[in-house]
Amino acid sequence: MREFAEPFRHGWRQAVEVRATLVDFQSPFQRIQVLDTVPFGRMLVLDDAAQTAEAEEYVYHEMLVHVPLLAHPDPRRVLIIGGGDGGALRRVLAHPVTLARQVEIDGDVVRLSRELLPSISAGAYDDPRADAVIGDGVAHLRDTAERYDVLLIDSTDPVGPAVELFGDAFYRDARRALGGTGLLVTQSGSPLVMLDELKAARALLARHFPIVRTYVCSIPAYPGVLWSFTAASEAIDPARIDLAAARSRLRALGAPTGYYTPAVHAAAFALPNFLRAALEMDDDGDPAPLPPPVPGQPPR
């Protein structure tokens, strides 16, 4: 049986066994593969990087969507940049939003995901509140006069068409589109094997937003498994949620979750000491951190 593995990062990579390749297609933007894997079922792979998989996509999508939408007092208008697999769109539509707009640059990702990974979007594209736009998210945010309550950057890592989605001008435009009261969440990579990307995104966001908060979760199909999201806002601190209020709002959605709970939400912002040290976060009375681990080296 063949295997799929992402490129090594800091000498580390993981691999999955592949039963079958359902599609291997070069779009104008990237190589698109859908693989039938042994551990995670069908998996979307873009330019040799795992994006989402049937058996574990709920972790990423619930933490990307429910954290900001339950931190925001009343999210009505949501913009998703990227997200062509439709998993984020589906979770946004579980909330009482009036608009869920998705701007995905690659129409082939949407087409092949709806065809070969239907359980991920699960009919979200047919919801009358959904507006699926094919286009560059950078240009969309630069040119829009519309305002949004929540902006979700569900993009590939900062390579190729996604580079500017982690850029200064894009975050400036995001601040304008959120109108001082909304919040943004971006996928910000692995704290273990993509620490520089995470630090760079936090530093750039801090130029435009007074509140910048990183939270983590475990995504089985991703390099290093430990994955981060970073939230930014002028007004809302997603790390400070009212657990009881979030519980009753989540219950009212009637959308079962596989990973997200309000307690997991709150805990996700309690970062381990090595990461606090690596992100130079101020000391809030916890024991002094051990020196940050060096990938490939045993902890000191």
At closest approach, how far in Å is the CB of 267 from ligand SAM?
21
154 counts as catalytic: yes
Which is nearer to ligand SAM, 165 or 246 (by Cβ)?
A: 165
**Interatomic CA distance for residues 87 and 65, integer angstroms:** 10
Report residue 140 as tokens.
């969309």
Structure tokens at 191: 């704290």
Cβ 212 vs Cβ 202: under 8 Å? yes
Considering only 18-26, 92-100, 157-165, 259-267, which stretch makes contact with ligand SAM by CB under 6 A?
A: 157-165
**Helix axes 243-253 and 57-71, enclosed angle (nearest 10):** 120
Number of residues binding to ligand SAM, judged by CB under 6 A:
25
Per rule CB under 6 A, is residue 121 in the interface with ligand SAM?
no
CA torsion 228→232→236→238, rounded to 10°? 0
Stretch that binds ligand SAM, among 1-9, 83-91, 204-212, 287-295 (CB under 6 A): 83-91
Write the interaction track for ligand SAM spanning residues 175-204; mark x where CB under 6 A is met and - where it is not.
------------x-----------------
How far is residue 117 from each of residues 3, 53, 89, 110, 134, measured CA to CA in Å? 20, 8, 14, 10, 19
**68 or 276: whose CB is closer to ligand SAM?**
68
Q: Is 230 in the site for ligand SAM (CB under 6 A)?
A: no
Choice between 65 and 94, CB closer to ligand SAM: 65
Q: Which of 73, 79, 264, 51 is nearest to 184 (CA)?
A: 79
Residue written as tokens 């539509």? Answer: 93
Which residues are known to be catalytic?
A: 154
Enumerate binding residues for ligand SAM (CB under 6 A).
Answer: 29, 46, 51-52, 60, 81-85, 103-106, 109, 136-138, 154-156, 161-162, 165, 187
